[in-house]
Every structure is written in structure tokens, then in C-alpha cells.
Amino acid sequence: MNNVMTKTKKAFLALTVLIFAAVLAPITISMGKSYASAYSIRVNKATNVVTIYNSSGAAVKAMICSTGEATPIGTFRIQEKYRWHELMGPCWGQYCSRYRPGMLFHSVYYWTNGDPSSLDYDAWDKLGTTASHGCIRLTTADAKWLYDNCSYGTTVSIFYGSSADDPLGKPVVIKVSQGAWNGWDPTDPNSSNPWHAARPSIKVRNTKIQYGSNFNPTSTITAYDSAGNDVTSTVSISGANKVKTKKLGKKFKVTYSVTDALGRTASKVVTYKIVDLKKPIIKGFSTKKKNREYNSLFYYKKKVSAKSYAGKNLNKKLLVYVKMPHSSKYIKLRGKAIYLNKLGTYTFKYKVKNPKNKKTAVKYRKIKVNDNKKPQIFGMTSTRTVNYKTTINLKSGLYAKLRSGKKFRSSIILKINTPNGNKGTYKYSKIKTAFTFNQLGKYKFTYIAKNPRSGKTLTCYRYVTVVDPVTITANNVTSGLDLYNPNTNTIQPINYNVLSLATASGLKSGNLTGLIKITSVKNPLNQNVAVSNGLVTLDKAGIYTVTYQVSGTNLRTATKTITIKVINSKVGSTNVPNNKQTDDTQTPDTGSNQTPDIENAQTQDNVSIQSSDTN
């Protein structure tokens, strides 16, 4: 093959040389003269058929050919002839007839000049297709006929037509690439051509016909042409209509004949006998998949029977195997029943052998095991409290599970009732992964999970109370409060409105300053100080702490602690050290971009969220 490829490459490289050589070749006839010829030649490029016409205009011979994309359209005349001629060196053609410079009728090319056993069989097998570089390739027999019978000056018409322009049709050529002598053109009349001894053949594969079957006479034989190609479809058959397959033991004769593309024939008489070759028959169940309940008892032999094609009972020879769900191996069963304790498809294999003809029948039965109970729903918790504008992932951790353990989500349905009375129903694929609570009050979430097999459903509820996060704003007082009155040169207590130091607001509710309560005032000695209408008496130098609180319906309780610094300038700043660190607390900002899971949301209705302010 490598040698062939090398030669092919060389042939392509020599194309240019060939064309110039052909153009410069001498023309042996004068194109201006009239020539008498017994024939004319018409070449149909579309069908790759050459048709020869006699002087009366009647089609007398058809040839299969290979034209090329470069094959010219037009009318020409036979100009020169060569017994062997170099084509696209180093390859040669036999019986070459030139019809214009650089263009020839010739045999399929050979790799060695004068050697008829060096045929390129791949090019031969392409006859009938567009495959040449411009010349018109023929079988050697056809090229020789044209060489011998079409004299100089014979008219050559090349056109692009259709099969309707081929009055004698398109000849069939034998394929040689698989033949024993694929280096030879099988039509070459050379006396050394080994194809001369080749003949078609008919091989018989089987002479037994199944009782009661539809006899197909070509199903038992294969016909080959002289090159070994399968030509069974062209076989002629006689006697097949007399075969009666319901006559057990009867013999019948059928005659087969075949003629190949070389015109060579073969025939064979085959004697057939009607016998029982069929496998046994297994009945009693459908091969369609059936459903059974999880962990049920299945009687796999119930109503099942086995018999030979002739009717003999083979029940005792029936064997049953099972392949469990998610397994690749079959297990032989003993007894009559099996518990179906795995979800999925059980495959039962029934097997029986006919002891007479040794034929074995196998039949499969599939049982799909389902869990039809109500599913369970996981990933939900009981009552929750979250801040207004909190965003949660309603899908987080949410799934349903069958009692047999299989998890699923796609059939979950969520219904949402908002505090304002709005309602919505969502399939699992539409459930929001970022759901924002934008109403104050109680939300009701109804989760429904349906068993995808039985349709049985389980309903679960989740209630979420949404409260408004409150922010208390109050600043520490660090200056301006002095117990010493220089005007009177006395130490005087200060009545101070600590309520006026604080404001409050809710994310949803807005101004909540009116709801502020003072829950604690401590003096520098950590003693409680009485508060009246927001007023306290500051009578000691040092640090006072004041704690504010806001609470109410749909509000998240918030607290904040500030410090008030009181001095006695007569004795120098504070004379009592601060006894505790400032602990200013309030509700944290809920406007962040975090999306907490509902499982991690705040779970109590009245919990103080601590934070600190720094001077």
C-alpha cells in the first residue's frame, strides 16, 4: 500500500509535465477534412456512460466509464492511438485513443508500462463515477473495442445529460479490490489473465427449514461473483414455491442460478428438509414492565409455563434467575416467591432448554418496585421571628423523602399567605432562593410534597412572624455638667432631662421616639437613680449610665445604654471613679445584603440585640 501511495504522489507531481507533453504531441489527422467512420461516440459526463452509435444513428454498445471534472464538453474526433501510453507518469494505459490534446480514452491505469498485472484496483472500482483527471477511463475490453473499431476521425460528443440520454442504460462492472487477482483487469483478453478461470459460486449455509416457518429461499445461501463479491440479490430461483413447511420431515429441492457482471454463470440444486429447530415457548406473563409495592411478596412462577414448539411440557426444566435493582449479576432462584425489598427494577430471567433439539429459550420479565406511601418533608422548623426586610433562602435544606429512603424535590409545592392577605402558589422550581419579608405580621408557609408514584401527599406548615427592627439613637454626654456653681460658690444637684437625649426609629414604622422608655439610670456608685418624666437628679461627680428601651407590637425590642459625665470643678473633675464600662446596646442594622437561612433567623419575639457606641 505504501508503494501505491508513493506512486500516486509521483503521478500527481507529473500532472503538469503530462499536460504540456500532450499539448505538444503531434496530431496525425487534419481537423478540416471529412472522415467516414462506422461509428460515433457520445459520452455522458453526468452518468459516466459511453454509448456507441452506428452510422444509421442506432445505439449499439454501452460502456461504463470514469470522466473527470476537467473532461471537456464539446465535439471532437479520434486523432491518435497508442497500444500502451504513459499517462500521468509513472502510470500507463492500454488501448489509448486521443480525441484532443491531453485527453484520451484509455483503460484504467497501470503502475508498470506493459505489465497488465499492475492495475490500480482502487481506480478500477471507481468506474461509473467521476474520478479521472480529464481522460475517459474504460475497462480494458471496452478500451480495446474502441481502439479496434473506431477509426481516426470518429466523432466524439461529450455532454452533461441524464440517464434518459443513455438508451442502453448503464453497464455494471465487477468490483475487483477483494478479488484474488486484483492487479488484473478482469476484462483484459490477455491469455495470461488469471480472471479467465474465475467463476461465480453458490454456497449453502443450511439445508434445514423450521417447521411452520415462512421459507425464504435466499436466507440459506450466498452467491458470489467471479471476484468474490456477494451477488445473492441477483440469484434466479426455481422450485421454492413447492416447499411446504408444515410437512415435518419432508424434503424439497430448490435450484439456484446466478450470472455475474462478466457474463459467467453458476447453479446449484439444494435439498431441504423440514425439521423443528425452534426454541421452546415460555408463556404466562407479559414482557412489559409491571409495578409492585415496596417490600411485597412476588410469586414469580405463578401462571408461568414452558413447552417445546411441538407442545411437550417443559415446566420441570424451567429455571428462574433474578437481577436485583442496581446490580449487574443474576442470582438463581429456588422456591416460588421473593420479597421485593429494594426500590427499582427487578429483572427476572426465565430459561428452558428443549432436550430434543438442544435449543434454549430465554424470556425476561421486569418488575418495578415503588414506594407509594406519603413522603416526609425535611428542612423545616417551627414558628420563627425575623426582622422586616430579612431575606431568606426558602429552598435551603428543603427536600422530601419516601419511606424507602429516596429523596426528591421537584414535586414539592409551596403556598404562601402574607400578613396582608396575599396568596401565592409555587412549584419547587419557582420557589425563591432569595425571599424578602416586606410585610409586618405573620406569614404562613404551606409545603405540600406528593409521592411521584402514588400521588399521596403530605402537608406541612411553617409560620414566620416579621417584626420591625428598631434603632435607638443617643450620644454620650461628655461635657457641660458641673455640680459647682461659681456664682454661689456652692455644690448644687442638676435636674437633667435624659429622655430628650434619645430618638428611635423603625425600618418600616419610621419615628418611634414616643415609645422610648428609660429602664435604668445608675450613678457613679452603681446605685439606681429615680426617673420622673424623663428627669433625673445628678448629684454626684462621675459617670452615670442611662439605658433606653423601645418595644411594641410587631417591633423587635431594642435597648441602648449611654454615659453622662458629671464633674465638680471645685475639687477638680470627677472625685468618684467610674465603676463600670459603658455598655451601649441597640438592635443591629438589618439592611445588610446577607441572606440568612430561615433556620438561622432570630427565633424569639423579645430579645435584646447588643451593640456599643464609642466616643
Q: Compute the distance between CA of residue 14 and CA of residue 90 in angstroms, rounded to an integer.
A: 8
Q: Compute the distance between CA of residue 185 and CA of residue 198 in angstroms, rounded to an integer.
A: 12
- In 3-state terms, what secondary structure has residue 241? helix
List 65, 85, 106, 133, catalytic entry: 106
Q: Compute the distance between CA of residue 100 and CA of residue 80 in angstroms, rounded to an integer.
A: 9
Q: Compute the distance between CA of residue 9 and CA of residue 14 in angstroms, rounded to an integer.
A: 9
- In 3-state terms, what secondary structure has residue 147? helix
Report the candidate in 593, 586, 504, 579 with the shortest Cα–Cα distance to residue 544: 579
Contact 381, 599 (CB under 8 A): yes
For residue 339, the tally of other CB atoms under 10 A from its CB is 9
Contact 533, 496 (CB under 8 A): no
Q: 106 catalytic, yes or no?
A: yes
Counting Cα atoms < 13 Å in the Cβ hemisphere of 315 gives 8
15-24 and 2-13 helices, crossing angle to 10°: 50
List 65, 91, 96, 135, catalytic entry: 135
Q: Compute the distance between CA of residue 539 and CA of residue 495 in angstroms, rounded to an integer.
A: 9
Side by side, the strands of the sheet bearing 558-566 are: 517-522, 542-550, 558-566
For 284-422, where are the E strands, in sequence order?
Answer: 290-293, 296-299, 305-307, 319-323, 331-332, 337-340, 344-353, 360-370, 376-378, 384-387, 391-392, 399-401, 407-408, 413-417
* Residue-wise DSSP of 50-82: EEEEETTS-EEEEEE-B-BTTPPPEEEE--EEE
What are the backbone dihedrals phi and psi of residue 550, each rounded to the nearest 5 degrees, phi first?
A: -130, 130
Report the candidate in 502, 499, 545, 538 with the shortest Cα–Cα distance to residue 521: 545
* Residue-wise DSSP of 490-539: EE--EEEESGGGEEEEETTTEE-GGG-EEEEEE-TTS-B---BTTEEEE-
Q: 135 catalytic, yes or no?
A: yes
Catalytic residues: 106, 135
